[in-house]
Amino acid sequence: MFKKTLAILILCLAVYWSFDALLPNKISTIDAPENSFSTHRALVQLKEITKEPHFLGNEAHNQVRNYIVSELEKLGLETQIQEEFSFSKWGNVSKPKNILARIKGSDTSKALLLLTHYDSQPHSSFGASDAGSGVVTILEGIRAFLSENKTPKNDIIILITDAEELGLNGADVFVNKHPWAKDVGLVLNFEARGSGGPSYMLIETNQGNANLMKEFVKANPEYPVANSLAYSIYKMLPNDTDLTRFREDGNIDGFNFAFIDDHFDYHTALDTYERLDRNTLEHQGSYLMPLLHHFSNANLNNLKNTEDYIYFTVPIFKTVIYPFSWISPMLLIAVMAFIGLLIYGFKRKTLQGKEILKGFAPFLISLIASGLVGYFGWEILKKSYPQYQEMLHGFTYNGHTYIIAFVCLALAICFYSYHLFKSSIKTANLLIAPLFFWIIICALVAFQLQGASFFIIPVYFGLLSLFLLIRQEKPNLILLALLAVPLLFIMSPFIKMFPVGLGLKILFVSAIIVVLLFGLLTPVFGFINHKKRWSYLFLILGIGSLISAHSNTKYTKDTPKPNSLLYVLDADENTAVWATYDEILDDWNKEFLSDDPDQAGALAKHTIGSKYKSNFTYTKKAPLKDIAEPKVEISHDTIINGKRKVAICITSQREANRFEVFSYGKMQFHSIKVNGVEKNDSVGDFSTNKLSTRLFSYYATDKESLDIILSFPASQKLDLQFYEASYDLLKNEAFNVPDRAENMIPKPFVLNDAIVIKKSIVLDSYKSNN
């Protein structure tokens, strides 16, 4: 009994340690040594730059820029502002104002660049995590570095970009237009996609990562959290950072450091100084300092490499790396060892064919049932709680409780399934099915998702356990538990990482991982009695977690409902509507949209800058207000060799923040130039099945006008629609829109709290004019 209890305690401790080792436990104080990073000193600066939302173009944005410049100058650094127009690949145009400084090194080799951005997401985010945390990490890290009065070998460039949230525009103009870009040998980028949790290291490179990983290991950060699978997944997602521009446009390698937990705060009015996890900020500092010291003196000319490395992190050993070239041999060794152990087990008569086949039953039942419960369970919850639809990023405030619930339900299913076969199958025979599936998974990832090939490591320890089970009828349970520790160290964090990073729709993946882990833990659980009782225990815990989640489904001050409201004036038709992106209206926007709103109809076809492709849902006729329309002038209209070139100048009469420009119907353009910057990939046929196509979005910085030059076939009719938006609906006295209740916040990722004016420009084709 003692050994069984101790074995269970070892497994529980391993799971706990796998999470505890991800983050620093101590927060550095305000009186930390001058040459060390202090989270509390960084927090002083963070509080200053997160007093208000500071998106590109507003006054708070200018104040934050001035504050950062002054803090750099206090460190004795000479700063400069780079200001250029940028046309991003996503069709966003803006004029970012990058902040730059440079520390001279003793050598003339490549420079190390420290990167983050200072703009917050329009229009309501305070930007404490994204990316105020990055700003203060760099400011405090540079202060500590300079306090040692040592001259680095390499130059250190500090780049705090602007307009990252709009389309990486600041990084675009630096990489493609600033002379310092050619000096950069490596980038360390600090980012966020939530407000807490461990910061994951993700590599950005066009070639192999071997030398980058070797140097990362040499730098020896205290709490590395990284794995090659995470980057493989990251590359599949439509999420880029400033570092992407360095890789794609400059062939410059780098490391991303980004935390993703508490994802419900991302880009919202909840991204505040108070809600940023202090341990997370400490974690960012624990990356920066050793990497800054190492790479400021390393040879940055020698980082390019064609070889890739698998990498993952575990407690004690920190970062483990090995070449991709080992993937096939390691898989082959595992397959041969598995086959060899099968032969050995049959010879010893420990393994029996019928029992092995029976052993597949509880594992498959657990795998299928847990996956189905995870998938359909979340679908049922979404229908039961339709308010979850308003959380566009897919992670609810009670999301962590749901993860616990579905993990417990998966464990309940596993214990009950194995309870059903407890008397008929020896433990060694039970282990064959999970090992078989693990090897199949490893074979698949070896060819399709090589970054996950470190999954073979737990298989080796599973094979060792199988060897012991074949050799001894009653092996040492403590030893079997210790052999399971690497499995739990490596795989346990994925149970949480997947739904946190990809949304609760991935809960079924967490449930499947639980079953896969349980399968390799059968050398221990196979000898545990009362599996039915364990099943009931986890069922009760799962149901209790669901009840707990249910009690936290209401929107409160700490967990507010995201909602939206816009006033859209059609200047062509002289009509106006209230509009929303919400699926479920509330007391605040019902005041304007009523209990019986209209379907958005044609307006829904223009999805104005929505990251998650959210359309307008409802509208309601609104009173006409005296809102100054934009001034539209055609300053140039010529036809040369069958190509028509039209120059259009649009000037806002009310200091609008943003313009959306759509082409209507089938149109083709030879070129599109906005404020002097041409869209490089603008040649194409915009005749998709959609009614209209967004040409670009323009974000005003200094109240400048919008100048557009379009080139298109002379025989083509030009039909454009402009949406001019200002983020002042709640401030404009003509509307008297009340402030939200304390349990509401502006919905992120969509145009919100805006006064929008729609205006069209139609020019007949050259043929019809003649």
**Strand pairing partners for 575?**
570
Judge contact between 144 and 36, C-beta under 8 A. Answer: yes
Specify the residue for token string 């605040």.
588
The pLDDT-based confidence of 378 (bands split at 50, 70, 90) is: very high
What does the alpha-carbon distance between residue 76 and residue 71 come to, in Å, rounded to a whole number? 9
Query: Which of 12-21, 647-656, 665-674 is predicted with the least confidence, judged by mean pLDDT?
Result: 665-674
| Mean pLDDT to the nearest integer, 3-30 | 94
Count: domains in the chain: 3
266 and 166 share a domain? yes
Q: Which of 500, 521, 551 is the last residue of a domain?
A: 551
What are the backbone angles phi and psi of residue 561, rounded to the nearest 5°?
-80, 125
262 and 240 share a domain? yes
Burial of 135 (C-beta count, 10 Å sphere; 0-12/13-18/19+): buried
Judge contact between 426 and 359, C-beta under 8 A. Answer: no
User: Which residues constitute the domain of residue 152?
Assistant: 23-314
Specify the residue for token string 């059609």.
570
145's CB contacts (< 8 A; 6+ apart) are: 35, 156, 289, 292, 293, 296
State the Cα torsion 438-441-443-447 to the nearest 10°. -160
CATH number at residue 99: 3.40.630.10
What does the alpha-carbon distance between residue 563 and residue 258 come to, in Å, rounded to a whole number? 27
Q: Do strands 643-651 and 631-640 pair parallel, antiparallel, or not at all (unpaired)?
A: antiparallel
Query: Which of 207-211, 232-236, 490-494 is predicted with the least confidence, judged by mean pLDDT?
Result: 232-236
Is residue 683 pLDDT above 70, yes or no?
A: no
Is residue 692 pLDDT above 60, yes or no?
A: no
Q: Which of 497, 529, 551 is the last residue of a domain?
A: 551
Residue 680's pLDDT is what?
67
- Alpha carbon separation from 403 to 365, 514, 533 (Å, rounded): 21, 11, 22
In a domain? residue 435: yes
Residue 463's pLDDT is what?
97
- What is 640-653 written as a DSSP string? ETTEEEEEEEEE-S
494 closest CA partner among 230, 194, 191, 222: 230
Q: pLDDT: is 521 or 683 the higher one?
A: 521
680 and 760 share a domain? yes
Is residue 682 pLDDT above 50, yes or no?
A: no
What does the alpha-carbon distance between residue 309 and residue 327 come to, in Å, rounded to a whole number? 10
What does the alpha-carbon distance between residue 674 and residue 679 come to, in Å, rounded to a whole number? 8
Determine how many CB atoms are found less than 10 A away from the CB of residue 146: 16
Judge contact between 336 and 459, C-beta under 8 A. Answer: no
454 closest CA partner among 321, 280, 336: 321
Judge contact between 167 and 119, C-beta under 8 A. Answer: no
Q: Which two tokens stand for residue 376?
A: 């359909």
5 closest CA partner among 386, 481, 453: 481
365 and 221 share a domain? no
Judge contact between 292 and 114, C-beta under 8 A. Answer: yes
Q: Do strands 156-161 and 111-117 pair parallel, antiparallel, or not at all (unpaired)?
A: parallel
| Mean pLDDT to the nearest integer, 96-116 | 96
Q: Which two tokens stand for residue 372?
A: 């189905």
HSE-CB at 91 with a 13 A cutoff on CA atoms is: 16
471 and 495 share a domain? yes
Geometric angle at alpha carbon 625, from 750 and 635, rounded to 5°: 75
Judge contact between 736 and 574, C-beta under 8 A. Answer: no
438 closest CA partner among 511, 358, 520: 520
92 closest CA partner among 738, 675, 744, 592: 675
Query: Which of 233-242, 338-347, 643-652 is predicted with the least confidence, judged by mean pLDDT?
Result: 233-242
In a domain? residue 353: yes
Q: Is cis: bond before 40, omega within 30 of 0?
A: no
- Alpha carbon separation from 574 to 213, 344, 559 (Å, rounded): 61, 84, 39
Residue 767's pLDDT is what?
62
Determine how many CB atoms are found less than 10 A away from the CB of residue 532: 14
pLDDT for 50-60, tens place per residue?
Answer: 999 999 999 99
In a domain? residue 320: no
37 and 180 share a domain? yes
- What is 445-506 written as a DSSP string? HHHH-GGGGGGHHHHHHHHHHHHHHHH-SS--HHHHHHHHHHHHHHHHHHHHHHHHHH-GGG
Most confident of 521-530, 581-590, 605-614: 581-590
HSE-CB at 654 with a 13 A cutoff on CA atoms is: 19
698 closest CA partner among 94, 103, 58: 94
**What share of the chain in percent tops pLDDT 70?**
96
pLDDT for 641-665, tens place per residue?
Answer: 889 999 999 999 998 999 999 887 7
Specify the residue for token string 């796998």.
18
Average pLDDT value over all residues in the chain: 93
Specify the residue for token string 């400069």.
80
541 and 562 share a domain? no
Residue 681's pLDDT is what?
56
Determine how many CB atoms are found less than 10 A away from the CB of residue 126: 26
**What share of the chain in percent tops pLDDT 90?**
83
What does the alpha-carbon distance between residue 396 and residue 387 come to, in Å, rounded to a whole number? 10
524 closest CA partner among 569, 490, 560, 477: 477
Judge contact between 700 and 550, C-beta under 8 A. Answer: no
What does the alpha-carbon distance between residue 483 and residue 460 come to, in Å, rounded to a whole number? 10
Q: Do strands 718-726 and 754-763 pair parallel, antiparallel, or not at all (unpaired)?
A: antiparallel
pLDDT for 27-45, tens place per residue?
Answer: 999 999 999 999 999 999 9
In a domain? residue 322: no
355 and 225 share a domain? no
569 and 489 share a domain? no
Sign, CA dihedral 70-72-75-78, equals: negative
Length of the chain: 770
383 and 492 share a domain? yes
In a domain? residue 324: no
| Mean pLDDT to the nearest integer, 470-477 | 89
In a domain? residue 294: yes
In a domain? residue 327: no
Q: Which of 551, 582, 597 is the last residue of a domain?
A: 551
Is residue 690 pLDDT above 80, yes or no?
A: no
In a domain? residue 304: yes
Q: Which residue type is seen at 184?
A: V
Judge contact between 706 and 698, C-beta under 8 A. Answer: yes
- What is 315-365 written as a DSSP string? TTTEEEEEEGGGHHHHHHHHHHHHHHHHHHHHHTTSS-HHHHHHHHHHHHH
| Mean pLDDT to the nearest integer, 564-589 | 95
Judge contact between 457 and 486, C-beta under 8 A. Answer: yes
Specify the residue for token string 């966020």.
192
502 and 570 share a domain? no
Considering only the C-alpha atoms of the chain, give the largest distance between any 2 of them, rounded to a whole number of Å. Answer: 97
| Mean pLDDT to the nearest integer, 213-221 | 97
Judge contact between 558 and 407, C-beta under 8 A. Answer: no
362 and 387 share a domain? yes
Q: What is the CA radius of gyration of the chain?
A: 29
Q: Is cis: bond before 433, omega within 30 of 0?
A: no
pLDDT for 251-298, tens place per residue?
Answer: 999 999 999 999 999 999 999 999 999 999 999 999 999 999 999 999
Residue 317 backbone zone (phi > 0: left; psi -120 to 50: alpha; other: beta)? alpha
Global pTM reads: 0.94
Helix (H, G, I), strand (E, B) or coil at 571: coil
pLDDT for 133-175, tens place per residue?
Answer: 999 999 999 999 999 999 999 999 999 999 999 999 999 999 9
What does the alpha-carbon distance between residue 599 and residue 570 come to, in Å, rounded to a whole number? 17
Judge contact between 762 and 719, C-beta under 8 A. Answer: yes
506's CB contacts (< 8 A; 6+ apart) are: 498, 499
